[in-house]
Structure 1
Amino acid sequence: MADILQNSDDLHILVRLFLAAFVVLGLLPPFKKRLSKILDYLTHLGRPEMPGMDGEAAVQERFSAASSPMSDIEYFVFTRLAQGGKKGMTPAAVAKSLHMDRQLIRKALRSLRRKGFIHFAPDWKMAQRVTLSKQGQALAMAEGLIPKLTHRSS
């Protein structure tokens, strides 16, 4: 260590390497965020719309297709969001109510968003709230997760 401090040229190189690593680590999260948005765009680009199908039929077709079924965790999260009501829930509240890791819940939420079953909305507390999309509501009603309220005539 004393040899490094005596030679000032090596010290300048080490400082520059440290600063370069610091900058790269600082740029990594925004880069990952942009990359995930690009990948989401590219995956939606390859899925053609199904003409002639209404929203609920398209949801049933998409859900029942063998190419994109929900995983168990996605189904648990989807069920919990359906039970959460129209106001939705924060990702942290979903993780806490299911007693699961937040990272796992975030991954399931991203997958459900890509499949079109949920969407994120900003909250007045500067948090994100997750609610079911129209497709997600249709699927939840078809699965019996959201009861259909009907008026009984007496």
Structure 2
Amino acid sequence: MMRAWILPMLLVLCGSAVATGMVLKGTPTTAAAVLLAFLALAGVNSPLIFPRSIGAGEAQRRSAVDGRPIVYWRPGCTYCIRLRLRLGRHARRLHWVNIWRDPAGAAEVRVANDGNETVPTVIVAGRPHTNPDPAWVRENLSSRPR
């Protein structure tokens, strides 16, 4: 779990160093903007933005029991971030699989996308949907039991 925080912590430290240098040079407003940009990047790359990932096998087992969709994603993917942010609080109702941490999940994505690791790939009722519209995913969540 600690490895997941390395990049966000590095971004915060780098942003702090750059901002400190800018403040010392006499540009505190620019320094604040740069620090905010680094903090935003750190937040987007932190484990806080995505619900805890599980393995593909566990996600498939849970989905078979509760009928909730599975989202295959990877860190740094802008489309995955867009999906996560637009789902808001509903994102926790999906099963999230990080394909960079789970080789079985990466294999599932390749099968669904003609050998490509295109994410986000959302599995709803056993059918894959590559980079679906977040509103469509939310719609499919509302038709499923909580």
Q: Report the TM-score, using the length of structure 2 for normalisation.
A: 0.29
Structure with a larger share of its residues in strand = 2
Q: Report the TM-score, using the length of structure 1 for normalisation.
A: 0.28
